[in-house]
Structure 1
Amino acid sequence: MRIGLAQSNLDNAHEYLTDLSHPASANYGKHWTSEQVIDAFKPSHEAVETVREWLADSGIRGVVQSENKAWLAFHATVKQAESLLRTEYHEYEDQYTGGVMPACEQYHIPKHIQEHIDYITPGVKLLAPGGEGPNTAKRSLAKRHSQSGSRAHSAAQQEKELSHAGSLDRLRGHSPKTQSVAVNAATNLSTCDVTITPACVAALYQIPTGQLAHPNNSLGIFEAELQFWDQADLNSFFTNFTQNIANDTHPVSRLIDGGVAETNYTYEAGGEALLDLELAYPIVYPQTITVWNVDDLNYQLLANDTYTWGFNTLLDAIDGSYCNYTAYGETGNAEGIDPTYPDLVAPLGYNGTLQCGVYKPTNVISLSYGGQEADVPIAYQKRQCNEYLKLGLQGISFLFASGDAGVGSYPAPAGIDGPTGCLGAKGDIFNPTWPNTCPYITNVGATKVYPGKTVYDPESAVYDPAGHPYTQNFSSGGGFSNVYPIPDYQQSAVATFFADHNPSYPHYSALAANASNPVHPNITLLSGATGGIYNRIGRGVPDVAAVGDNIAVYSGGVFKLNGGTSASTPIFAAIINRINEERLAVGKSTLGFLNPTLYAHPEILNDITNGTNPGCGTLGFSAVKGWDPVTGLGTPNYPKMLELFMSLP
């Protein structure tokens, strides 16, 4: 059994991070060590001793405290556990997966102990989202990418893609855009309205050729769901679109809990993995790239593979204290949601133990995956959000793609959020994406160079309407959280947006309560009294943007065009990694959590003032002067960003 102890100073965590991240702070860039993080939030001595005394008085022996100080563990018979907690345990079976877990309907602890305990497990436990039973809540998360359409797959990949809803790769329903490679593609800027090459990206954001390669500054890119890179595609891309990257250049692969990053078979190459790498390499080279590939092929093949556990698997591997960290009634990996290792059941299973703290995190991590806030238990997502805060204290930057369905999600059968992809009884309430709404990550939307425009003209918010040429519309994910309030660094920008560009839609002003259930029921109630379709007091997304359409890639042995906000994210992340390189070269710290500086200095970004992000039967929001919930503060201006960040301590 495990008892999650109430941690100290959690109310101060946001203040701690702001102190290290705001450009006006005297402590800017003075990041903490992992040991300092553990020490700052460890349970109080009073909490530990009071709970130990209670256990001893109850006849419990052999109590040990975890290395991260957050929980006490002990062995107990069923009779001892029932006596300790004045309850009765049963075995509960998930009607969808068949998984069995011990749990109770309720448990009781003495009043003087309650303030010191966050959670006890096994205890009261709803079964996993993903099932069909009365105690389950179905959910699905998806890749933020890939307009490229079909590609050659193994039978296993085809089975998975047919069963997992949400990916643009599957929703677009068309053949890849193909065309001959332009002459002098490595330098040609005349066709950037048709094909975005590395030269176009460099011209859009004034990015010079890289020169530095610090040994401890590799760009991290997260991959999951059978997304493999292959050298043949990388070599084709380097040959046709770059002038300075040698063939056989490739990333470092970090394989977590049986992950597989590379394939020797071009037909198995993943459009997402190669999109990320082929966008990032021309920006960061000669810096290296590290691919974080998570979970064994068994879990990656599951029809209800949600990527939720993928993020948890990554966080476990780069911060051992997270593996058993307690917050919001969740301790460690959630039973029935997260993978269990060793995975001895399936032939593709990873037979080792869960990897906890085995890798040092890269300074920047780009993640092009995610889903909808309403489909993830609130306690589960808030616990994960706290970990981004703690890693931000250690100088790590997380950048997530904002999504490709505007203010909603894709409608059924492609998505799980009903016939419209939106929330509420009428299916018209905006459906914000996750984990983008977590206030401790930087969220990246997408722009586009429209036909007839050049890299010297202002960009517009990306929008490709359904049927032109894609089955579903592609627009930059954005909106307002139903779980998290507007963070302090964003309050002025959001207030200005509402004051100067007030949307015409009815709204509500409330946040969903902390709970283990998904958000759907709460939001129906929140909006019911007003008829509102978006939340006026939620954290706004995205924070920034970058070009995300008509991207030139080689994938599966074929040249094609690709895109999505997952194209925008590695571009912005690579630029941050370049700036880290310059700071490290002069003895300064990495940038860590970006948002306080970005919102304090929006002049370092290119403001986007054209376009919308349709969804839920509306035009969505509009890109306007200043921050907006379509393209955020705007796209990168590398020289201005570099000058500002180099001026900071």
Structure 2
Amino acid sequence: MRSVLLSLLAAASSIELAASLAVPDTHVLHEKREVTQGTPWVKRNRVESHIKLPVRIGLKQNAEASEKAVEWLMEVSDPNSEKYGQHWSQEDVIKAFQPTPETVEKVKAWLKMVIHEDRITHTDNKAWFAFDASTEELEKLVHAEYYEYHNEDAGTVLLSTDGYHIPKHLQEHIDLITPGVKGLKVRSDDLAKRASRSSRLVKTPLDENKTWNITDIEKTDNCDRLITPACLQALYKYPPQSSKVSPKNSLGIFEEADTYAQEDLDFYFAKFAPWVKNRVCPILNGIDGGSAPTRPSEAGIESSLDFELAIPIIYPQTTTLYQTDDSYYANNPTNGLFNTFLDALDGSYCTYSAYGETGNDPQLDPTYPDLHPGGYRGKLMCGTYKPTNVISISYGEQESWLPVAYQVRQCNEFLKLGMQGVTIVVASGDDGVAGPPGTVQGCLGENGHIFSPTQPCGCPWITNVGATTIAPGKTVNDPEVAVYDAAGTKYYQELASGGGFSNIFYAPAYQTKAIANYFKISNPPYKYYHNGAFDPPDGVYNRDGRGIPDVAAIGDNIAIFYQGKETTGGGTSASAPIFAALINRIVDERLASGKGPLGFINPVLYQHPYVLNDITSGKNPGCGVEGFSASVGWDPVTGLGTPNYPKMSKLFNSLK
């Protein structure tokens, strides 16, 4: 695993940044602001010296865990391993990954040179130091100058630095310091809505009042125009669900700033899935004030899509809703995503200081208690919920939107969940090789032509799902193709299966053979670069990055009912819960035979790609080009392909 952060430690960059700073020879540049063309942030005045800042020092995890984490995960995930399926307990994981006493002692000794020991809070899991410091104290500590960065359009101001320094001997002990290059939000007049950043991946139709015009729900004659539960069953050949299911196996679904209405679910199930009885609804695991359901007039299309697709597949298995964040932060968010969710699953992931829980980034993530009107007044929820065996996530951002260290820490947490037997399924994005249109970083580089990978899809320890469609005039018995709908044909915005190569993470060992095969038989006609180093660019994609997606499922012409209306939608937001629901059914079969959950499934799938329907037609346009092409075997459009449930079930149930 490599990140572009490593390049920030170069001595040349340190000299350039420190031209006006008295940086001693004992220190080194630890993190530097990466300037992207078109950024909305304008650097202005120095931050006044007396301003108080909440400071966090993220400590490196145990070195042995850093070196062996992937090995530990693969031991329980590789079907050829003698330890396959022998997942760890949460307690064992926490113990293995906590920083060493040496790291704690050395970093604290450095802090005490500027900050009195009584002011330093050390978290119970030893992962963070937290304290309040004046700007003058922080600048003295990290040999940096802090400025105000203004975003006039969003009405937001950050207190931030172009880069900061730490003692050379602490590089191996410190992950990151905040506020750092991404800064601390101190004032907001009109925060941008989360939806404006396309954190929800579902594509909304041109006409949300169109009717389904379908009478016989069991027929699959028009699945090229409207996907119903009957179409899904015909496509992926899964049998009717058993009436006997495990009470310990609920499908987890993540939601934020989007809530379902029970009346919508009831109507949809009555129409398309009459076997779903008795006003079935998700089990609510509300996180930091997250609540559900809501009134039909306020229902969200993402939540409606997720539950209307998943529940008919798994019923009478249950779904568990991880509804994150109170109404203020859900509608007026900062720029981060998933941290409060991960906090609630693992108490060691979040920590406490005088400013509230400080395991999260104070600029990127919500801060609780929330004193805004209607805010959640409790403390940040830490380790409150046990994770379900399978979790579906249909939300995402772009790698370029967040600090590398922020993403690496989240990726490590996904790895730990995999070690514990949790399968994380994530939508790969709906904008092909680009980011959402209309954003500053839809594509990267000075000319906006470099492909923009999605986040958290670059993390190698999750299963990414791309989107397919049934071609017009074709049936469920014909091969699916990669989805592509030009803007204005079916949806307000262009829809193309998100795919490509991470700029932060290397291709993992389980994937390298599949990627090499793709380059051999279907080499993309674009220049490329290595190690995520796209500035200055030598190409448009990272040749040695982790490939996205891993698999695919139908994601077009999906029947949805929300806000009391019949409509259709599309995107990998549909693909992810479909694939996750099928995996959850297989987990239930394993539990019934006395076996355990599946956990991280990618090594099994890449070794046995025959259990998926290979998609060989279609592209994922973006950044002014046609994007990548679907191909025989794995490809960065539809991955290994779509589910063949009988084959998948037979394979996974044959494993110990």
Q: Is 1:300 equivalent to 2:330 in the alignment?
A: yes
Alignment-derived partner of residue 424 in structure 2: 398
- 2:549 maps to a residue whose letter is P
Shift of residue 284, structure 1, vs aligned partner: 0.7
**Contact kept? 1:549, 1:564, Cα under 8 Å:** yes
Alignment-derived partner of residue 45 in structure 1: 101
* Root-mean-square deviation (Å): 3.1
- 1:20 maps to a residue whose letter is V
Partners of 1:540 and 1:426 in 2: CA distance: 24
Residue among 495, 502, 509 paired with 1:474: 495
Partners of 1:373 and 1:616 in 2: CA distance: 16
- 2:74 maps to a residue whose letter is T
Residue among 88, 92, 117 paired with 1:60: 117
Q: Is 1:587 equivalent to 2:598 in the alignment?
A: no
**Contact kept? 1:61, 1:74, Cα under 8 Å:** no
Partners of 1:607 and 1:93 in 2: CA distance: 48
More displaced 10-residue stretch of structure 1: 626-635 or 584-593: 584-593
User: Percent identity of the aligned residues?
Assistant: 51
Alignment-derived partner of residue 217 in structure 1: 249
Alignment-derived partner of residue 156 in structure 1: none
Secondary structure of the 2:268 match is helix
Q: Is 1:533 equivalent to 2:544 in the alignment?
A: no
Partners of 2:314 and 2:89 in 1: CA distance: 26
- 2:245 maps to a residue whose letter is A
Alignment-derived partner of residue 552 in structure 2: 545
Partners of 2:162 and 2:523 in 1: CA distance: 48
Partners of 2:324 and 2:406 in 1: CA distance: 19
1:60–1:581 Cα change, 3 Å: same
Partners of 1:139 and 1:375 in 2: CA distance: 15
Alignment-derived partner of residue 520 in structure 1: none
Alignment-derived partner of residue 334 in structure 1: 361
Residue among 7, 17, 32 paired with 2:73: 17
**Contact kept? 1:144, 1:403, Cα under 8 Å:** no
**Contact kept? 2:467, 2:482, Cα under 8 Å:** yes
The CA deviation string for residues 307-332 of structure 1, in whole angstroms up to 9 with x for no partner, is x33x1110111111111499xxx972
Residue among 184, 193, 207 paired with 2:216: 184
Alignment-derived partner of residue 276 in structure 1: 306
Partners of 2:566 and 2:560 in 1: CA distance: 6
Secondary structure of the 1:552 match is strand
Q: Is 1:248 equivalent to 2:279 in the alignment?
A: yes
Relative to the length of structure 1, the TM-score reads: 0.84
**Contact kept? 1:141, 1:372, Cα under 8 Å:** no
Residue among 434, 443, 461 paired with 1:422: 443
- 1:340 maps to a residue whose letter is T
**Contact kept? 1:364, 1:397, Cα under 8 Å:** yes
The CA deviation string for residues 579-632 of structure 1, in whole angstroms up to 9 with x for no partner, is 111111122121111111111110110101111111122111111110001100
Shift of residue 4, structure 1, vs aligned partner: 3.7
Alignment-derived partner of residue 268 in structure 2: 237
**Contact kept? 2:212, 2:559, Cα under 8 Å:** no
Q: Is 1:7 equivalent to 2:61 in the alignment?
A: yes
Partners of 2:112 and 2:182 in 1: CA distance: 29
1:316–1:507 Cα change, 3 Å: same
Partners of 1:602 and 1:4 in 2: CA distance: 39
Q: Is 1:524 equivalent to 2:581 in the alignment?
A: no
Partners of 2:652 and 2:268 in 1: CA distance: 32
Alignment-derived partner of residue 374 in structure 1: 400
1:177–1:200 Cα change, 3 Å: farther
Secondary structure of the 1:40 match is helix
- 1:17 maps to a residue whose letter is L
Residue among 114, 122, 127 paired with 1:70: 127
- 1:176 maps to a residue whose letter is E
**Contact kept? 1:140, 1:416, Cα under 8 Å:** no
- 2:440 maps to a residue whose letter is I
Give the gaps of 5 or more residues in structure 2. 1-54, 189-193
- 1:124-523 to structure 2, matched below 5 A, reads 124=180, 126-127=182-183, 141-149=197-205, 174-176=206-208, 178-185=210-217, 187-211=218-242, 212-225=244-257, 227-263=258-294, 265-302=295-332, 306=335, 308-309=336-337, 311-324=338-351, 332-345=359-372, 347-412=373-438, 415-417=439-441, 421-512=442-533, 523=534
Partners of 2:128 and 2:413 in 1: CA distance: 16
- 1:198 maps to a residue whose letter is P
Secondary structure of the 1:484 match is strand
Shift of residue 179, structure 1, vs aligned partner: 2.5
1:474–1:325 Cα change, 3 Å: farther
**Contact kept? 2:158, 2:186, Cα under 8 Å:** no
Shift of residue 295, structure 1, vs aligned partner: 0.9
Q: Is 1:35 equivalent to 2:91 in the alignment?
A: yes
**Contact kept? 2:197, 2:436, Cα under 8 Å:** no
The CA deviation string for residues 513-544 of structure 1, in whole angstroms up to 9 with x for no partner, is xxxxxxxxxx231x2xx3x2222111111100
1:469–1:120 Cα change, 3 Å: closer
The CA deviation string for residues 47-84 of structure 1, in whole angstroms up to 9 with x for no partner, is 3455566778997358764322323567889999888x
Shift of residue 2, structure 1, vs aligned partner: 5.3
Secondary structure of the 2:535 match is helix
Secondary structure of the 1:246 match is coil
**Contact kept? 1:141, 1:370, Cα under 8 Å:** no
More displaced 10-residue stretch of structure 1: 360-369 or 174-183: 174-183
Residue among 614, 621, 638 paired with 1:614: 621
Partners of 2:581 and 2:282 in 1: CA distance: 14
Shift of residue 129, structure 1, vs aligned partner: 8.6
Relative to the length of structure 2, the TM-score reads: 0.83
Partners of 2:117 and 2:458 in 1: CA distance: 42
- 1:394 maps to a residue whose letter is Q
Partners of 2:196 and 2:564 in 1: CA distance: 30
Secondary structure of the 1:584 match is helix
**Contact kept? 2:204, 2:491, Cα under 8 Å:** no
Alignment-derived partner of residue 519 in structure 1: none
Give the gaps of 5 or more residues in structure 1. 133-137, 150-173, 513-522
Partners of 1:89 and 1:407 in 2: CA distance: 37
Partners of 1:411 and 1:117 in 2: CA distance: 36
The CA deviation string for residues 239-265 of structure 1, in whole angstroms up to 9 with x for no partner, is 1111311141111111111112211x2
Shift of residue 449, structure 1, vs aligned partner: 1.0
- 1:255 maps to a residue whose letter is G
Partners of 1:29 and 1:120 in 2: CA distance: 37
Partners of 1:579 and 1:26 in 2: CA distance: 21
**Contact kept? 1:430, 1:534, Cα under 8 Å:** yes
Partners of 2:56 and 2:480 in 1: CA distance: 53
Partners of 1:559 and 1:355 in 2: CA distance: 37
**Contact kept? 2:506, 2:545, Cα under 8 Å:** yes
Partners of 1:483 and 1:210 in 2: CA distance: 40
1:177–1:509 Cα change, 3 Å: farther
- 2:300 maps to a residue whose letter is G
The CA deviation string for residues 430-458 of structure 1, in whole angstroms up to 9 with x for no partner, is 11111111111111000111121111111
1:437–1:189 Cα change, 3 Å: same
1:541–1:140 Cα change, 3 Å: farther
1:38–1:145 Cα change, 3 Å: closer
Partners of 2:135 and 2:211 in 1: CA distance: 66
